[in-house]
Amino acid sequence: MANLVGAITTSHVPAIGRAIARNLQQEPYWRPFFDAFAPVHRWLAETRPEVLVVFYNDHGLNFFLDKMPTFAVGAAPVYSGADEGWGLPVMASFEGEQALSWQLIDALVQDEFDITSCQEMQVDHAFTLPMALLWPDQAWPVKVVPVCINTVQFPLPSARRCYALGESVGRAIRNWDSDARVAVMGTGGLSHQLDGQRAGFINKDFDLRFMDSLVDDPKWATRFSTHELVEKAGTQGVELLMWLATRGALGSSARCLHRNYHLPISNTASGLMLLEP
Ligand code: DHB
Ligand code: FE
């Protein structure tokens, strides 16, 4: 059976891609952000996951407002990025782990999640930038399975539902007939709001409480409705649903090996956690 070795959660701001493209990692603005990934790089070098399941939200590249699945699972042989209009270079494409894709799809449908399976799928900055943060040389040593959760067009799935989705994914990984080392990643958040009267909104108290909760009380945030989460974390801060799904996949108890919280990165309070079951 496959071995679920750990989880990484991180923010995914397009400006990170510009900083990488311009080699600004050691500039004063960026250094605290990029340096925080060093312990993650060491963990990846030691643990050597072979497969990575990535919970992220598409922002309009693969799904647009005309067709918006609540949950979508990639089952493609390969995933590519594309120009989203941020002016970022397109990275090398990502090899899919199709056997695990279908294992997840079967298990999620069995668990009564009505998912969309995608045998062709483009991945946007929410997928590609965290990959480049984990592997700065952009030579991907893992095969991937993208799991996309709608946080773009209301109505959004509830925090409780996203946690349960993650639990189902975690079980399916552990039941996969493979000896692969599998890690999970969740990208997005933490608090930020890009539009409206509260543009620029950040809630440090909430973010820190949320990060604490992922270790000692992982279902804490599932008590909040989507609208309460928007109120607390901002319209785009609801991307923290990806962190909840990731934590759900890890199982009942987890220990935190590393965490970082730094703001602002663009309009976003950026968070990073490395967890092991
Ligand atoms: C920003 C944050 C995001 O999560 C995103 O998808 C796009 C932009 C930002 O803070 O600029
Ligand atoms: Fe985003």
Nearest CA to ligand 1 atom 5: 13
In the numeric block, the tokens 């599932």 are attached to 222
Report, as an integer, the average pLDDT of 129-138: 98
Question: What is the β-pairing status of strands 143-149 and 3-10?
Answer: unpaired
The answer to whether residues 104 and 172 touch, using CB atoms and an 8 Å cutoff, is yes
Ligand 1 atom with the shortest distance to the CA of 59: 6
pTM of the model: 0.98
Q: What is the pLDDT of residues 224-261, one digit of tens each?
A: 999 999 999 999 999 999 999 999 999 999 999 999 99
CA 94 to chain centre: 16
Q: Is 219 helix (H, G, I), strand (E, B) or coil?
A: coil
Q: What does the block give as tokens for 5? A: 């070795």
Q: What share of the chain is helix, strand, coil (3-state, %, to 5)?
A: 35, 20, 40
Question: pLDDT value at position 81?
Answer: 98
Does residue 155 have a cis peptide bond before it, meaning omega lies within 30 degrees of 0? yes
- Look at residue 32 in the predicted model and tell me its pLDDT: 97
CATH number at residue 89: 3.40.830.10
- Number of domain units in the chain: 1
pLDDT of residue 40: 98
Protein residue with its CA nearest to atom 6 in ligand 1: 13
In this structure, the residue with its CA closest to atom 1 of ligand 1 is 13
Which atom belonging to ligand 1 lies closest to the Cα atom of 57?
A: 6
Per-residue pLDDT at 14: 98
- Pocket-testing residue among 151, 238, 265, 267, ligand 1, by greatest number of atoms within 8 A of Cβ: 267
CA of 236 to the centre of ligand 2 (A): 6
Nearest ligand atom owner, CA of 199: 1
Q: DSSP letters of 91-109?
A: PPPEEB-HHHHHHHHHHHH
Residue-level pLDDT at 60? 97
User: What radius of gyration do the chain's Cα atoms show?
Assistant: 17
Q: Which residues constitute the domain of residue 160?
A: 3-276
What does the pLDDT look like over 44-88, one tens digit per residue?
999 999 999 999 999 999 999 999 999 999 999 999 999 999 999
Cα 127 to Cα 129: distance, rounded to the nearest angstrom? 6
Q: Ligand 1 test: best mutation among 11, 88, 266, most atoms within 8 Å of CB?
A: 266
The phi, psi pair for 230, rounded to 5°, reads -60, -45
What are the distances in angstroms from CA 150 to CA 64, 78, 229, 232, 251?
11, 21, 14, 18, 23
Q: Which tokens go with 197? A: 């009267």
268 vs 1: CA distance, rounded Å: 38
Tell me, in angstroms, the distance from the centre of ligand 1 to residue 144's CA.
23
Atom 10 in ligand 1: residue holding the nearest Cα: 267
The pLDDT-based confidence of 207 (bands split at 50, 70, 90) is very high
103 to 49, 98, 106, 161: CA distances (angstroms): 18, 8, 5, 20
Mean pLDDT confidence for 90-118: 98
> Rounded CA gap, 138 and 156, in Å?
32
Q: Are 238 and 151 in contact (CB under 8 A)?
A: yes
Contact assessment for residue 7 and residue 169, using Cβ atoms and an 8 Å cutoff = no
Taking the CA of residue 267 as reference, the ligand 1 atom at the shortest distance is: 10
Q: Which residues are catalytic?
A: 125, 192
User: Rounded mean pLDDT of the chain?
Assistant: 98
Confidence of residue 273 (pLDDT cuts 50, 70, 90): very high
Residue 20's pLDDT band, with cuts at 50, 70 and 90, is very high
Question: Ligand 1 pocket by C-beta < 6 Å: which residues?
Answer: 12-15, 59, 192, 194, 236, 239, 266-268
Torsion over CA: 78, 151, 103, 170 (sign): positive
pLDDT of residue 141: 98
What is the per-residue pLDDT for 172? 98
pLDDT for position 24: 98
Nearest residue by C-alpha to atom 8 in ligand 1: 13
Pocket test for ligand 1, best of 125, 129, 236 (most atoms within 8 A of CB): 236
Q: Phi and psi for 225 in degrees, rounded to 5?
A: -75, 165
Phi and psi at residue 234, to the nearest 5°: 95, 160
pLDDT value at position 170?
Answer: 98
Label residue 168 by pLDDT band (50, 70, 90): very high
